[in-house]
Amino acid sequence: MYDYIIVGGGSAGSALANRLSTDSKNKVLVLEAGRPDYWWDVFIHMPAALTFPIGSRFYDWLYVSEPEPYMNNRRVTQGRGKVLGGSSSINGMIFQRGNPLDYQRWASDPGMSTWDYANCLPYFKKLENCLAASSDDEYRGHDGPLEQERGPVKNPLFGAFFEAVQQAGHQLTTDVNGFKQEGFAAFDRNVRRGRRLSAARAYLHPVMHRKNLTVKCRALVTKLLTQDKQVTGVTYELPFGRKRTATAREVILCGGSFNSPQLLQVSGIGNSEHLKNVGVELVHHLPGVGENLQDHLEVYVQHSCKQPVSLNPMLKFHYRPWIGLQWLFRRGPGASNHFEGGGFIRGNESF
């Protein structure tokens, strides 16, 4: 029997596994449905290779939305990491906090008073090591495991971009994670010396040696075990259909915004009417499970470059071995995610 079973070895699961296993008395099990993030896997660890794992069955759950009525019934892909590190192993590596006003709004809800920005800020600082911030910056941390490099924005297109946004009436800011989010600046990125720094690499791998921590990959949790409306363990499936159970004092769901509510529902925890409609036996009526998902759309607007300074010429087939060779020394185009700068503006002046 374990003290804690963590379902999902992604961003939250990796951090929790690190923290909970700090106490040697705690016996911790992490169950990750996806594959390990092998050190040699260039598609994970090369920042410029980020387009390869997204949409690949080897790294991604390959979720798509239902037909969207306001988008001509198109289905929208929903990339979610199916690998140790979760989506932090396949995402674009931009490190971005939410807007402070979002946390203030959360804090206005009943029982949520400690979720305001002032109370969250110490935890934001605790997790990070922002290399670009000064040591006396009261909004940024320097001792956390998640190292952040700021985009170099050396390509002349970034200079043209920042000049253009100012001409359009917007402003620059020094740090979109600092005192003032509104404006345009270089982005902080989860990149460390030319390699992706996922949550698994920041939190989990440094403590894998702990004897009280067990991490199992390719272990898909299929059901929560309950007794007297208390979750006591999980059933999970290993390769070749092998089924196992594990019990614990506490089971912590870290499967992400899609998989955690889905696991609750197939285990009989959720809206009773919905579970009845899909033929799942009710264990506990809990309205709201699997509802109110809010996500942002990604829309591309692309332009042709009038001068030969864009990234495209370097991506020609005969240049790729050279990019790979440079990356082995943590340099060159392969060492950047190329999302090095951007910004935030108000949708309208009422905000």
Tell me the pLDDT of the chain (351 aa) as tens digits.
Answer: 999 999 999 999 999 999 999 999 999 999 999 999 999 999 999 999 999 999 999 999 999 999 999 999 999 999 999 999 999 999 999 999 999 999 999 999 999 999 999 999 999 999 999 999 999 999 999 999 999 999 999 999 999 999 999 999 999 999 999 999 999 999 999 999 999 999 999 999 999 999 999 999 999 999 999 999 899 999 999 999 999 999 999 999 999 999 999 999 999 999 999 999 999 999 999 999 999 988 888 888 888 899 989 988 888 888 889 999 999 999 999 999 999 999 999 888 776
84: Cβ contacts below 8 Å, ≥ 6 apart: 9, 14, 32, 34, 35, 36, 37, 200, 204, 215, 217
CA distance 208 to 303: 46
pTM beyond 0.85, yes or no: yes
Q: CA 41, 7, 234, 246: dihedral to nearest 10 degrees?
A: 70
Q: What are the chain's domains?
A: 1-93+190-299 (3.50.50.60)
